[in-house]
Structure 1
Amino acid sequence: MISLAGRDILHGWGKFLFTGVGLGLLIGVTLTMAGVYRGMVDDAQALLNNSGADLWVVQQDTQGPYAEASSLHDSTWQHLRGMDGVVRAANVTYLTMQVRPTASVSAAHAKDVRAMVVGVSPDGPGYPGQPPYLVAGRHITRSHYEAVADVASGLALGESIHIRRQVYTVVGLTRRMVSSGGDPMVFIPLKDAQEAQFLKDNEAIVQQRARTKQNPALNRPGLPGVFDAVLASQNSNPFVNAVLVQIQPGVDPEAVAAPIRRWLHLSVYTRAQMEDILVAKLIATSARQIGMFLVILAIVSAAIVAFIIYTLTMGKIREIAVLKLIGTKNRTIAAMIVQQALALGLIGFVVGKTAATFWAPAFPKYVLLEPGDALRGLAAVLLICVLASVLAIRAALKVDPAEAIGG
């Protein structure tokens, strides 16, 4: 009875195809939502891979530096560098902020760039925290006023950008260096990043200096050096967010992490632990929200298929009655309806997969469409179509053959 279902589809192919396209757009949205979640996970894994770290050393009892705030003294890396199994250790700071190209200062239509500013030591490539590769330009070699940006930021090589009060020149471009939220990264020298992270406005500095001057414990008569030293400490930032550690090949990360926790009283996370923090905790709420959308879209898709198949079935009651009158078995009629539902689902899936592939690159965040998700989506669509055809099958099987004779 495949030909019977096919003939019926060809009889009203315009309506059937239009319905398949509408269903396909809904399926495309569903596949895109799954791709958004996959993209979030891939961004988190890219963040860890590109950091070049085997261990993340952060403030004790925190899950920094990505999920929580963390603050360490910038001399901590020196203690870590001398420990057994450690190859390299480097300070790093992270600051999510608006980066303003200098050309946009006077351009009303220009927009700032939302980016994660990363402060790294200018020790060259290979050190943890440094971008592992460039697509253009060079790495940071100076201790001030140079930057390397991800191409997703839209910044160009040689362009000048404002970060807080300072102007930086983009000397290199990299790719797929993003935060766990998908924001492109901009790398600047560590000292500049430390200053930018805790920079105060001029009025706040003046007020703090006045309060310090009025404090007799900090401004003792005859000891002006104490007052100057206090002011210097208030205007400097000797802290970083984390120390990224590379260990020797073949060394157990936990064997290196355990003495750091015990003797330096710091929290240390391995790659597996940091991935669990990012994926299972940081983006867990977004994942649940996307899951709810997928469930709702699946229910809506099932309702649409059920309504369309039921409508098509009710539109040919007389034909079904004729089939029963000439002795057609119920299972043959049921198979015809199921075949039509599956055909509708296949058309919708092809349209949806094609639409999702074309519009995914236009999304502001990375959308990862995996073949495995597409296959699971196809299986789910076919299952939904079969289940949605049950209502139409029940209605068809209740048709009285006498309706083929009656008016």
Structure 2
Amino acid sequence: MVSIAISNLFHQKSKSILSISGVILSVFLVFTIYGVYNGMDYIMESMTYKTGADLWITQQGTSGSVHSPSFIPVDIGDQLSEYDEIEEFTPIIRTALTYKVGSTDILIFINGYNTSGNLGNPWKVIEGKINPGEKEIIIDQTFSKISGLIIGDNISIQSSTFRIVGISDEGNIMVGYLAFLSYDDAKNLVPPNLTNGFIMKLKDGINSDEFSKKIQEDIPEINVQNSFSIAQAYKKEVLGGFIPIIFVLSAFSLFIGILINGLLIYMLTLEKSKEYGIIKAMGASNFKLYRIVLSQALIISVIGYVIGSILSFPLTSLIQEIVPEFYVKISTEMLIGGFPIFVMTGIIASLIPVSRLIGIDPAEVFK
């Protein structure tokens, strides 16, 4: 049955190529859509996990994100210094500011951290200094591309001028771009004697859940969260509204693949009706005929998926070069998880010509 399916596909090369191209397009669209989501998800997690912190301290009743800003007294640090369980802690500033590029206002998410410590540092500096000094700043590479700013240029933020000394990667969160300042410079962006929060690393062997309860009881005006909780809050606020859109666009992309594949299989069935009738007259059941159709659909889906997966990497990279704001991250999990989905699209496509197969009358072949 498989050999017959392959023979039919090679007999109609142009139509087969067209159908495979449709599956390739479908694969590319799905990977691109989920790649954008996956990229943003990755950056949201990096903003928390890659700070090196075990626990985050924010204002009671807030999540500590830009949409739910936290302001707590800096002198809470004096209380934190009394805990032997803490290996290192530091205040941190995280606030959003606008920067005008031409006539467009762009959000910059400022990260102010203690440059002499090990917490809160930019996790992927690709050019220049790893840590900014006084009146210095590290900007995201995507922001650098769209603004035209490079290392050595100056950038004005709220009446203060900073010299760009580094370019970082993985700081494009679609709605804005990450930038890193020293804490001493960033603290001027919030009210006096306040900070957005503290991050801390615990000593080895310390149970973070138990210590969280302890410190929460000692300082009731704060909120203690682990990095996972902070990451989930960030993702909910930034990505929550994208999920329905991603679902609809992905469903539409899969529908394109099913439709094109199914139409080809239907046309092949019509063109090969005589051959199917002969096979049926020789005693083949409808199910055996369906296996031929199913094999054709699966061959198209698998070939289209493999080629589409390979092409998605260079194509998305090309798009990112043309449109720097476009950040896509295609993971191994996406490649593995996408395969059974597109196999299923082949199975669904094979159902389109079933009624035609069943309706083939072997007697008509010999008239």
Q: Deviations over 1:200-236 (max 9, x none)?
A: xxxxxxxxxxxxxxxxxxxxxxxxxxxxxxxxxxxx6
Q: Deviations over 1:167-202 (max 9, x none)?
A: 1101233333x27657432112334333345xxxxx
Q: In structure 2, what residue type is equivalent to 1:395? A: R
TM-superposed deviation, 1:356: 1.8
Q: Does 1:187 align with 2:180?
A: yes
Q: Name 1:137's counterpart in structure 2.
A: 128
Q: Name 1:392's counterpart in structure 2.
A: 353
Work out which of the residue numbers 252, 269, 279 in structure 1 matches 2:207: 252
Q: Name 1:379's counterpart in structure 2.
A: 340
TM-superposed deviation, 1:251: 1.0
Q: Name 2:242's counterpart in structure 1.
A: 286
Q: Does 1:349 align with 2:287?
A: no
Q: In structure 1, what residue type is equivalent to 2:181? A: I
Change (3 A) 1:311 1:191: same
Unaligned residue ranges in structure 1 (runs of 5+): 198-235
Q: Name 2:87's counterpart in structure 1.
A: 87
Which entry has the higher C-alpha Rg, 1 or 2? 1
Q: Do the aligned residues in 2 keep the contact of 1:93 with 1:118 (CA within 8 Å)?
A: yes
Bigger mean CA offset, 72-81 vs 277-286: 277-286
Q: Name 1:405's counterpart in structure 2.
A: 366
Q: Deviations over 1:74-93 (max 9, x none)?
A: 22222212223112221221
Q: Deviations over 1:141-171 (max 9, x none)?
A: 644x211223333242222111121211012
Q: Does 1:277 align with 2:233?
A: yes
Q: In structure 2, what residue type is equivalent to 1:152? A: T
C-alpha separation in 1, matches of 2:95 and 2:73: 17
How does 1:310-389 map onto structure 2 within 5 Å?
310-361=266-317, 362-363=319-320, 364-389=325-350
Q: Name 2:116's counterpart in structure 1.
A: 124
**How many equivalent residue pairs?**
357
Unaligned residue ranges in structure 2 (runs of 5+): none
C-alpha separation in 1, matches of 2:143 and 2:261: 42
Change (3 A) 1:138 1:297: closer
TM-superposed deviation, 1:311: 2.4
Q: Name 2:262's counterpart in structure 1.
A: 306
Q: Does 1:27 align with 2:27?
A: yes
Q: Name 1:297's counterpart in structure 2.
A: 253
C-alpha separation in 2, matches of 1:133 and 1:17: 42
Task: Give the share of equivalent positions with the same residue, in percent.
Answer: 20
C-alpha separation in 2, matches of 1:282 and 1:63: 13
Q: Does 1:151 align with 2:157?
A: no
Q: Do the aligned residues in 2 keep the contact of 1:353 with 1:374 (CA within 8 Å)?
A: yes
Change (3 A) 1:192 1:53: same
TM-score by length of 2: 0.87
Quote the RMSD (CA, aligned, Å).
2.6
Q: Deviations over 1:122-151 (max 9, x none)?
A: x4241x2232564443355644x2112233
Alignment partner of 2:241: what SS? helix
TM-score by length of 1: 0.79
